[in-house]
Structure 1
Amino acid sequence: MTLDAWFAANTSSWCDRTLAELLEAKSARGLTVSLVVPARNEAATVGDVVSRVRTALTETNDLLDEVVVIDSDSTDDTYAVAEDAGAKVYRSAEIRPDLGSFPGKGEAMWKAQFVTTGDVLVFMDADLLDWDTHFVPGLLGPLLTRPEIALVKGFYERPLADGSEAGRLNEGGAYEGGRVTELVARPLLNLLFPELAGLVQPLAGEWAVRRNLFENLRVPTGYAVETAALIDTLRLRGVDAIAQVDLGTRAHRHQSLRDLGGMATQILVAALERAGLETGSGSVSGEGTVLRQFLPVDGVATAADRFVPRAERPPAAKYLS
């Protein structure tokens, strides 16, 4: 299948399927669905995410069977706010303590497999601002109606949270996937895994996956979880098992370039290792890499070394009975 043919066959919109159609498909196939929200210091937004989803998709119908928040070492009130909003809340470090704990989004998502029950897992970021509850049924559409689909990525227009048009350099700028996507992930996938070049936003935090696939994937503990999931799904199931859905609009906030440098390093390590390429001598251990950055100190460029975690969890199936 050509890239254009894959795009035409496996790209859809959230509004292509009605909620009634999805409920019927879910019931006919006997599937259960868990929404997982990994969160770290997101007390300001996680409550709204949980309460709106529960009202729309668990209290008025049974599209979702559970809403689970995995608190990843928060130092604010994320746990209490999520619990008050009606989610099942777990601290990542307290799930399977016999397996240890790492900081990071990927770790929270990997640990979620031990406390959720759904045949399908839907992941949503906890920092959503401009969004709507159709994100969830939109992601579920291909999984509930097409048995051959195993993983679904969301994509959306990405205006800045302040409503400005900053970063939109041309008419198509609204679908830019962010600086790490456009400068690192997209070129990397095009060069090393061209079958994945049709994905509009490969790093989007809104995606869904069948449990029987996710539990057989290696999961980086940090920000490379989305990249690794795509590459490993490509190898295990083929590109035809991947679909993407236009979810409309989601506002985003800019992070500092130095923080994005750490994210980009994790993505590079995961992709290069999966391509069988060496990642250099920067590794200080099997769990991390040193990224040298520079800061001005009294007008002088001064090295500032950042430790970038690079640990990966083995497939959860190894520990699931």
Structure 2
Amino acid sequence: MVPFLVRRGCQKVPYLFTKLYAPMISVIIPVLNEGATIRQVIKTIRKTARTIEIIVVDDNSTDNTVEEAMKEKVRVITSSQRGKGISMREGMMAAKHDIIMYVDGDILTYPDNLAELLTDPIVNDEADFTKSYFERQAGRVTQLVAKPLLSILFPELAGFNQPLSGMIAARKSFLQKVHFENDYGVDIGLLIDMHLLQARISEVNIGRLENAMQTWEQLSKMSREVSRTILRKAESIPQQNLETLGNINIIREQMEFSILESIDKLQKMVIFNLDETVFTQNYTYLAAVAFGQEEALCQVLEHYPDPVSILKRSAALFQGRNLAELLEVADEIPVTPDIRHVIRELKRRGYVCGFITDGFECVANHMKNKLGADFAFANRLHLIHSVATGEITIPEYFMPVKGNMPQYDKSHILKYIAEKYHIAPQNVIYVGNGESDTALLRDAGVGVAYHPQFVDAETMADKIIEDICMAPLLDIAQASPQRQGNKWPSKRQVRNIGIGSLAVVATAGLLYLAARQIRKAIRPDDDELPALKPG
């Protein structure tokens, strides 16, 4: 029996030969806890007419993902360490074919011809790398971070509809030359690397997809990692002028602010003074000691009375110090023993939690991520190539205009939050204890003085925590007035709650006493530290 003929170009060739010589595709599916969807994704991918192998790369799932994937008789490998980028790279290394296609394992609405859509441009020698786009509401990270940054740093890529899409295909020879980021930056990083390799790039429409909406915490993390990847990839291009760098900072800030504006949880907020209620010792002083600038810092504090001068001259002491050194100091400072638990519990109850500090934004953001907080308000220490220049920018939320002149006022943050995010001060719990905290303790809905160091701070506060732990704060973190139709407790009620809460803390007697001894051992007496201002 003669095999029937099919047309290839202007010639008719036997179908069996086209099957024999047709390009074969390796389909790689990185997965993490996608047992509920992986089988359906595999079944959809198999509907293609192309010859394919399917490799599921498990990112050390803790559910039944591997078991479910193996039911479909596909190859399953386990990633050497957790992270999508590593899974993608190791899947590529395991692939047997020269055209590689990546798809996510949690989308149930792929078209049946997804393989053809993604790989046709490569099979037809029209492209070396294909990037998908699909019908959906534009992602906030794409619109507010990726596209604006690309328009500045890689304008040739700014026209892509969805530069963060993870459904892609490429020639293996190109994938072997790129770097796979191991976070949310992996997809934009591949696009930029392919561009820098001068690969032919095609964007293809794969229809309409439905996937789970990410939480705003995930969006915030994605924003940071996507922007970091784009900026790192741009290091090979000529140094941008100051205006461009300023625009980049604005773009990154807009994403953070936009996320905060968009979440319903912002009806309730807790702000901690990072320097006074989270750190158990003063960061600026310890950093000065670590870098041999203790005497210089003391002279600054002695000779300059105004906060702005102190901030600027203190920042100058850290010129030449790199980010790793600055963060190492922060990591060495013990924090309030139960602060992670308290923040986690507050967030579970629907509160947005963040830090405020007169210190540096890079340190505040590091502690925010380390302790699971949501935001940080701080002064920006200028870094070039991750090295401090000694200059600092004081943001507008600390510099309100009074009369005709801007003046440093940390308490302005409540008005800023009210105007920017429409959160009334009465829906904010503020936790502080320093001299500059008095106005914030007075004006917030609930002011909590944690180990108050000044009489005014104690007088203005609604609640006082003398305990080493922050657990008593949870007693007043009740549902927001808007949600429950109730009101914040009165100042008298709050004080009573605070006193009663000490009995709860006392039940952990041995732990409490041990923690107190540890604190005494690691924290010098207050009179041994210079009085840092603003504080």
- Distance in 2 between residues matched to 1:271 and 1:25, nearest whole Å: 45
> Residue type of the partner of 1:130?
T
1:122 aligns with 2:101: yes
Q: Which of 157, 163, 167 lines up with 2:135 in the alignment?
A: 157
Q: 1:300 to 1:75 in 2, by over 3 A?
A: closer
What amino acid is aligned across from residue 91 of structure 1 in structure 2? T
Matched residues in 2 for 1:242 and 1:27: separation?
A: 27
Task: Rate the CA distance shift 1:138–1:113 in 2: closer, same or farther, 3 A.
Answer: same
Question: Displacement, 1:271?
Answer: 0.8
Aligned residue for 1:260?
A: 219
User: Which runs of 5 or more residues in structure 1 are unaligned?
Assistant: 1-22, 94-100, 159-173, 308-321
In structure 2, which of residues 99, 105, 110 is the aligned counterpart of residue 131 of structure 1? 110
Aligned AA (1:88): R
Percent sequence identity is: 28
Distance 1:126 1:194, change over 3 A: same
Q: Name the counterpart of 2:141.
A: 180
Q: Give TM-score scaled by structure 1 length.
A: 0.69
Note if contact 1:26-1:144 (Cα within 8 Å) is conserved in structure 2. no
Tell me the distance in 2 between the aligned counterparts of 1:77 and 1:281. 44
Which of 1 and 2 has higher RCO (CA within 8 Å, sep 6+)?
1
Please identify the structure whose Cα radius of gyration is greater: 2
Confirm or deny: 8 A CA contact 1:32 1:65 kept in the other structure.
yes
In the TM superposition, 1:1-321 aligns within 5 A as: 31-54=23-46, 56-57=47-48, 61=49, 63-93=50-80, 101=81, 103-147=82-126, 149-158=127-136, 174=137, 176=138, 178-237=139-198, 241-276=200-235, 301-303=353-355, 305-306=368-369
Task: Please state how far the C-alpha of 1:27 moved relative to its aligned partner.
Answer: 6.0
Contact 2:130 2:201 (C-alpha < 8 Å) held by counterparts: yes
Q: List per-residue Cα deviations over 1:245-295 (Å, max 9, x = no partner).
A: 11110012211111121122111111101111799966689xxxx9xxx88
Deviation larger for 268-277 or 193-202 = 268-277
1:84 CA drift (Å): 0.5
* Equivalent residue, structure 2, for 1:314: none
Please state whether the residue corresponding to 1:122 is helix, strand or coil: strand
Name the CA shift for 1:185/1:300 in 2 (closer, same or farther; >3 Å): closer
Structure with greater helix share of residues = 2
CA–CA distance in structure 2, aligned partners of residues 76 and 195 of structure 1: 41
- Cα distance in 2 for partners of 1:228, 1:27 equals 35
Alpha carbon RMSD of aligned pairs, Å? 3.2
Cα 1:48–1:30 shift into 2, 3 Å: closer
How has the CA–CA distance of structure 1 residues 53 and 199 changed in structure 2, closer, same or farther, with 3 Å as cutoff? same
Q: Which amino acid aligns with 2:205?
A: D
8 Å contact kept, 2:142–2:162: yes
C-alpha spacing 1:186/1:64, structure 2 compared with 1 (3 Å): farther
**Aligned residues of 1:143 and 1:152 also touching (Cα < 8 A):** yes
Q: Distance in 1 between matches of 2:63 and 2:227?
A: 31
Whole-angstrom distance in 1 between the partners of 2:223 and 2:207: 26
Cα gap change, 1:300/1:136 in structure 2, threshold over 3 Å: closer, same or farther?
Answer: closer
CA distance in 2, matches of 1:258, 1:282: 24
Deviations 1:287-309 (A, max 9, x none): xxx9xxx88579784446325xx
Answer whether contact 2:28 2:92 (CA < 8 A) is retained. no
Provide closer, same or farther for how the CA distance between residues 82 and 191 of structure 1 changes in structure 2, counting only shifts above 3 A.
Answer: same
Distance in 1, Cα, partners of 2:352 & 2:148 = 33
Deviation, structure 1 residue 130: 2.2
TM-score (norm: length of structure 2): 0.42
Contact 1:26 1:32 in 2 (8 A): no
Give the 3 Å change call, closer, same or farther, for CA 74–197 of structure 1 in structure 2.
Answer: same
1:33 aligned counterpart, secondary structure: strand
Please give the alpha-carbon distance, in whole angstroms, between the structure 1 residues aligned to 2:202 and 2:220: 28
**2:79–2:87 Cα contact (<8 Å) kept:** yes
| Structure 2 residue ranges without an equivalent (≥5) | 1-14, 240-244, 250-320, 332-342, 356-366, 371-535
Letter in structure 2 aligned against 1:253:
A
Tell me the secondary structure at the aligned position of residue 141 of structure 1.
Answer: helix
User: In 1, are the aligned partners of 2:134 and 2:209 still within 8 Å (CA)?
Assistant: yes
Query: Matched residue pairs, number?
Result: 247
Q: After superposition, what is the alpha-carbon deviation per residue over 1:102-156, rounded to whole angstroms, capped at 9, x for unaligned?
A: x211110011122111101100000102222222210011001125x11101111
Structure 1 residues 213 and 45: alpha-carbon distance in aligned structure 2, compared to 1, 3 A threshold: same
User: How far apart in 2 are the matches of 1:259 and 1:253?
Assistant: 12
Which amino acid letter does the alignment assign opposite residue 134 of structure 2?
A: Y
After superposition, give the CA deviation of every residue in 1:173-204 in whole Å (9 maximum; x if it has no partner). Answer: x4x2x121112111111111000012111111
